[in-house]
Amino acid sequence: MAQIYGYVRVSTREQNEDRQLVAMRGFGVLDCNIFIDKQSGKDFIRQAYRKLLKKLRPGNTLVIKSIDRLGRDYGEILEQWRIITKEKLVAIVVLDIPLLDTRQKERDLTGTFIADLVLQILSYVAQQEREFIRQRQAEGIAAAKERGVKFGRPPMKRPVSLLFQTVLEAWARNEISAREAGRRLGVSYKIFLKWTRL
User: In which band, very low, low, confident or very high, does the pLDDT at 81 lie, cut at 50, 70 and 90?
Assistant: confident
Distance CA 150, CA 147 (A): 9
Which CATH number applies to 4-132? 3.40.50.1390
* Residues designated catalytic: 11
Note the pLDDT tens digit of each residue in 170-180: 999 999 999 99
User: In which band, very low, low, confident or very high, does the pLDDT at 65 lie, cut at 50, 70 and 90?
Assistant: very high
Contacts of 101 (CB under 8 A, 6+ apart): 91, 92, 93, 94
CB 115 within 8 A of CB 107: yes
Note the pLDDT tens digit of each residue in 99-147: 788 886 555 555 566 677 777 777 777 677 777 777 888 888 888 888 8
In the chain, what are the domain boundaries? 4-132, 162-196
CA 59 to chain CA mean position, Å: 29
Distance CA 53, CA 56 (A): 5
Mean pLDDT in the chain?
A: 85
Closest by Cα among 104, 136, 101, 99 to 121: 99
pTM above 0.95, yes or no: no
CB 61 within 8 A of CB 91: yes
User: In which band, very low, low, confident or very high, does the pLDDT at 148 lie, cut at 50, 70 and 90?
Assistant: confident
Average pLDDT over residues 75-104: 85
DSSP 106-129: T--HHHHHHHHHHHHHHHHHHHHH
